[in-house]
Amino acid sequence: MPDGKNKCVRVRVDGNPCGGSPTWRWEVNVAPPGAPRDRRWGTETTKAKAVASVARVQREAETGELVDRSKVTLETFLFGTWLPAMEPTLAPSTVLSYKNILRARVAPTLGAVPLQALAASQLNGAVRPALG
């Protein structure tokens, strides 16, 4: 299903091996021209949903909202990137408080979760009780 912007767009129907409803698989290359291929894909229950997913991914790629694939965990990000970047702008007592909350509330339950698999509600649920 080529479009004017990207010739590598596919939407096709697959039969369900278990005898259920067929699924619609979609695939799109989101790499800019001349860059290595970067395919995104998914499965939807209807063709309309598959076409909508392709359009959403293309729009996110064009506007810079599409998140790069990464296996960085929440703990690695918090202690290796976020907290060191915030530290110069915070009081030492605030930094200590953040470290204690993150170590006690977030790292044990969500530290190993990849950032891309993390939902805001999970993080809120882990941090909110500590903030009173």
Q: Are residues 57 and 20 in the same domain?
A: yes
Find the domain containing 119 and state its range: 74-131
Q: What is the pLDDT of residues 2-27, one digit of tens each?
A: 444 444 566 777 665 566 677 888 99
Q: Are residues 49 and 85 in the same domain?
A: no
Q: Are residues 59 and 100 in the same domain?
A: no
For residue 1, tell me if it sits in a domain.
no
- Residue 118 CA to residue 74 CA, distance in Å, equals 8
Q: Are residues 108 and 59 in the same domain?
A: no
At 131, which amino acid appears?
Answer: L
For residue 27, tell me if it sits in a domain.
yes
Structural element, H or E, at residue 25? strand 23-29
Q: How many domains does the chain have?
A: 2
* pTM of the full structure: 0.54
61 CB-near residues (< 8 Å, 6+ apart)? 30
Per-residue pLDDT, 132: 64
Per-residue pLDDT, 85: 94
- CA dist 118 → 84, 122, 126, 129 (Å): 21, 7, 12, 18
For residue 86, tell me if it sits in a domain.
yes
For residue 34, tell me if it sits in a domain.
yes
Q: Pairing mode, if any, of strands 9-14 and 23-29? A: antiparallel
Q: 91 pLDDT band (50/70/90 cuts)?
A: very high
For residue 98, tell me if it sits in a domain.
yes
